[in-house]
Amino acid sequence: MRVASGKVVQGKVQLQDASFPEGAAVTVLFPEEGETFEADPETEKMLLESIAQCETGQTVPFDSVMARLRKKA
């Protein structure tokens, strides 16, 4: 699974720094006007630390995470 950001230009979604194969199924999440996301301080700290790790390349492939989760189930 991949996450990409973009914006709508002339009615079409244009992704920033990402491309997907022709015919790929995608899901678009769109916040309603005035809708916000709020996190408690602990969750916000965890999210900011995770973003920092991603920005420095400290990531784990999705398939590896899913394999570990399946073993625990």
Whole-angstrom Cα distance, residue 46 to residue 52?
Answer: 10
pLDDT(10) > 90? yes
pLDDT tens digits, one per residue of 21-65: 888 888 887 878 888 878 889 998 998 998 899 889 999 888 898
Q: Return the closest-CA partner of residue 3 out of 31, 23, 35, 28.
A: 28
Of 65, 70, 73, the C-alpha closest to 1 is: 65
pLDDT at 28: 82
Strand runs (DSSP E) across 1-73, as ranges?
6-9, 12-15
pLDDT band at 1 (very low <50, low <70, confident <90, very high): low
Whole-angstrom CA distances from 10 to 13, 15, 20 are: 8, 13, 20
In the chain, where the domains are located:
6-30+37-72
